[in-house]
Amino acid sequence: MWGQVFPLNKSLWTSSFTLVSSGAALCSLAVCDGIFDVLRLQNKNTIIQAIATFCQMFGMNAVFAFLFSGFLAKTLLVLPSPVAGSTSLEGGIYQALRAGYPSSNLTSFLFSCCFLILVFLPVYGLYRKKIFIRL
């Protein structure tokens, strides 16, 4: 209802979008605090330990991951696509994924998972070599 009066628009960074995204971030922070600090489940469960290690790798090189993801996104937009009908490599990859899956939501999710893996690979390499970029 509020979205009809005052839209949730990320590109404009409206105050309603800021409040919703801040609330979601605080809720996820509270859940992570409960899981990792209060209950200490990462010591009891190997799946949660793997998730915690994955998040720790990104957290140790967050600046690099942010800069690399921006560079990778712009590179995928600039490179030409080998797939007919799309102008960029990003569009070609998306069309190739969409050919196998009819749902555009699933295709977007798979594309973002693939992008996350591409960003994770150099972050993992830096973490293994104990190279941490800090400001």
Does the pTM surpass 0.85? The reply is no
CA–CA separation, 24 and 4 (whole Å): 20
Same domain for 78 and 12, yes or no, is no
Same domain for 104 and 68, yes or no, is yes
Residues spanned by the domain of 54: 45-135
Scored b (16 or more CB within 10 A) or e, 12-45 reads: eeeeebeeeeeeeeeeeeeeeeebbeeeeebeee
Residues with Cβ within 8 Å of residue 118, at least 6 apart in sequence = 72
Same domain for 101 and 131, yes or no, is yes
If one counts the domains in the chain, the total is 2
Same domain for 53 and 110, yes or no, is yes
Same domain for 81 and 114, yes or no, is yes
Q: Is the pLDDT of residue 128 over 90?
A: yes
Give mean pLDDT, residues 9-21. 80
Same domain for 35 and 77, yes or no, is no
Q: Is the pLDDT of residue 3 over 70?
A: no
Q: Is the pLDDT of residue 1 over 70?
A: no
pLDDT for 62-119, tens place per residue?
999 999 999 999 999 998 888 777 788 888 888 888 887 778 888 889 889 999 999 9
Same domain for 8 and 58, yes or no, is no
Same domain for 57 and 113, yes or no, is yes
